Chains A and B, each alone.
Chain A
Amino acid sequence: MAGAGDDASRRGGGAVTAVAEAEQAGRSSAPPGPSRRRRARPPVWRWIILVVAGLYFVIPLYAALRFAGLKAFPSVLHQAGFTDALILSVRLALITTVLTIVLMVPTVVYVHLRLPRLRRILEAVTILPIVIPPVVLIVGVLAVTPGNLKSSPNLLALEYVILAMPFAYRSIDAGLRAVDLKTLVEASSSLGAGWPSTLWRVLLPNLRTAMLSATVLTVALVLGEYTMASLDLYQTFPVWIVNFEQSSGPVSVAASLLALFVTWLFLMAITSLGSRRASRTGGSLTLFSVTRRDVGGS
């Protein structure tokens, strides 16, 4: 045992390696004993922490509900500019989502199949929109965009594709890793299907959950994006909410709560869909680590 410990510290990694090796040695030499119950202490502290944390998160929600008043919720729909702003946001969300899916799915599939060595580069590229804050991005975009595109709100949709890229990539990448891509493609082509047919009839149905999750993330992102829209001077839904505060605070708060609730519904939908699918195919999809929306983009 002493020899193993010395070896470990010589190799570096110190105490951790020593413990790991001791564990190996212990497993082989000692007879298996009863496993220790780790939680002999009453879990009071656990409850205290989680309850306090829960309060911290729930109280602002409750306060917002009280502040807005139940009357404010239906009145949100009738406020000036609400419908236009919402329609603009929804339109941008649709354009962005379609563009994102059409751009990302074939690319990621292609890289997985034909250019596996580019995967790391692709991953690094999809981190870039997180490194370059949307504030900075919109400055650059407005500096280089030709005039006729700059005067159209669709410019925002084009840029939102860039913002959505990291999340779409991760969803699709996770979905591809859950299926045996190579076998599917080889089987499909051995049965005579061409590349478009394979993509459409074989791969896309298998990527349904991944694409759905990418869609929901993109839609949530666009519907909540404030930074670039406000600096580009377009009144999307979040911009409308902020501008409307001048007229009526409670309405803005009510609209915010509605937006939060809808986002939450979306996320619940993809989680339940993802876990249902996962239980059928035997894989698992951790979506929440993917769904984190960078605040700078909202």
Chain B
Amino acid sequence: MADNPAGSTAVAAAPGIRPDPGGRPGGRLRSAARAARRLAGVVPFTAYVLAGLLVPTVAVAVGAFQNSATGQFTLSNIQVATHGIYLQGFRQSIELSLLSALIPGVVGLLIAYAIHTARRASVLRRVAITASGVFANFGGVPLAFLFIASLGTTGIVTGWLKALGFDIYAGSFSLFTFTGVLVAYMYFQIPLMVLVILPALEGLRPTWREAAQNMGAGTWQYWRYVGGPVLAPAFLGCLLLLFGSAFAAYATANAMTAGALALTPIQIGTFLNGNVLAGQENVGKALGLGMVIIIGVVMIIYSMLQRRAARWLQ
């Protein structure tokens, strides 16, 4: 009615009815005010997230470029953070995260496939899914102690292996090194992988398999041309999720190695309460910025892969 001048005039002629004022600038202001009032409902949440999440993150990002004594802009923090022991920290963190994504990725896929091909109502399936949910939530401090008790120097499993003739500590293995932390990380990464890839596997319609078989495809060809490509984005996405989860982890590694292993999260922690060289107070923030950038990139790729996976697996 607003864009029909003749109509609105006709309506205005009738008593008690006002024409819609849409065309006037006052109308635009009014609808902006209306939108602002509607957004008022999310103000508390937005304020909380701003104060609790965005402000600290900005502080880290800004502080990474600040001289800790004078507050002036400097690149020296970034310089320190990308060389020497901190570069080693990044390298080890990335290596650890890659390995604790790839190995549990493949193992988790196998386990998920075993669950997926089990009969719907079988006990095995229900137990396995429940167990995955439970174990995926083990992490942090309890996990560290679980492994100290099993594979530590006085651990039970270490003792069993010794009795069988394998002294794992005779070689270079130690729970408090890279390999030990990797083994511990697999404990929650594998169930996590199972939980996230299982829905994707269930999304593979059996009719596709049957259609492929109708066209003469064998198992290998099915996976090579149909199942694999459909599952690939979801699988890669899950790998990224595992990577991010391992990369950001602090508690388990810290509890197990007491900060001895050069990993970026642990190094960041030392800047808060450890001995810090003069002039390097803000290097921790530079390290933090690096971590956020790496994980941010990972999550962006992950969401792109998720969208691709959703094309076929809804």
Interface residues of A (CB under 8 A from B): 14-16, 19-20, 22-23, 26, 35-36, 38-39, 43, 45-47, 49-50, 53-54, 56-57, 59-64, 66-68, 103-104, 106-107, 110-111, 114-115, 118, 122, 125, 127-144, 158-159, 161-162, 165, 220, 224-227, 230-231, 233, 238, 241-242, 245, 249, 252-253, 256-257, 259-260, 263-264, 267, 271, 286-289, 291-298
Contacts and interface: CB of A to CB of B under 8 A. Distances in A.
Interface in B139-159: 139-151, 154-157
B33 interface: no
Contacts of B187: 56-57, 60
22 contacts: A19-B215, A26-B214, A35-B210, A53-B107, A107-B45, A110-B41, A111-B41, A129-B53, A134-B250, A135-B268, A135-B269, A136-B57, A136-B268, A139-B268, A140-B55, A226-B250, A226-B254, A253-B145, A289-B196, A295-B252, A296-B245, A298-B251
Contact of A143 (B56, B139, B141, B214): B56
A135 B265 contact: yes
B149 A63 contact: yes
B16 interface: no
A132 B244 CA distance: 10
B87 to A, nearest CB: 18
Contacts of B195: 288-289, 292
A295 B115 contact: no
Contact of B296 (A15, A131, A144, A165): A131
Contact of A114 (B41, B57, B249): B41
Contacts of B135: 57
B237 interface: no
Interface stretch (B18-26, B124-132, B164-172): B124-132
A107 B207 CA distance: 42
Contacts of A257: 142, 145-146
Interface residues of B, number: 104
Given A43-B118, A107-B45, 10 more contacts: A38-B206, A46-B114, A53-B107, A60-B147, A134-B248, A135-B265, A135-B269, A139-B271, A139-B288, A295-B249
Contacts of B292: 131-133, 136
Given A22-B211, A22-B215, A295-B251, A63 B150 contact: yes
Nearest to A287: B133
B63 interface: yes
B99 interface: no
B248 A133 contact: yes
Contacts of B289: 136
Given A46-B117, A103-B48, A253 B244 contact: no
Contacts of A165: 49
Interface stretch (B6-14, B69-77, B78-86, B222-230): B222-230
Contact of A162 (B52, B129, B131, B265): B52
B187 to A, nearest CB: 7
Pick the 6 closest A-B CB pairs, nearest first.
Answer: A140-B56, A298-B140, A288-B133, A67-B149, A296-B248, A133-B248
B110 interface: yes
B115 A224 contact: no
Contacts of A49: 110-111, 114
B55 to A, nearest CB: 6
B148 A135 contact: no
A4 to B, nearest CB: 12
A43 B60 CA distance: 53
B98 interface: no
A16 B312 contact: yes
B284 interface: yes
A253 B52 contact: no
B156 A63 contact: yes
A28 B252 CA distance: 56
Contacts of B285: 139-140, 143
A30 B151 CA distance: 60
Given A132-B292, A256-B146, A59 B42 contact: no
Contacts of A110: 41-42
> Which residue among B38, B56, B132, B288 has the maximum number of chain A CB atoms within 10 Å of its CB?
B56
B236 interface: no
Interface string B288-299: 110110011001
Interface string B199-243: 100000011111111110000000001100110000000000000
Contact of B48 (A161, A253, A263, A293): A161
Contacts of A142: 272
A66 B156 contact: yes
A252 B199 CA distance: 37
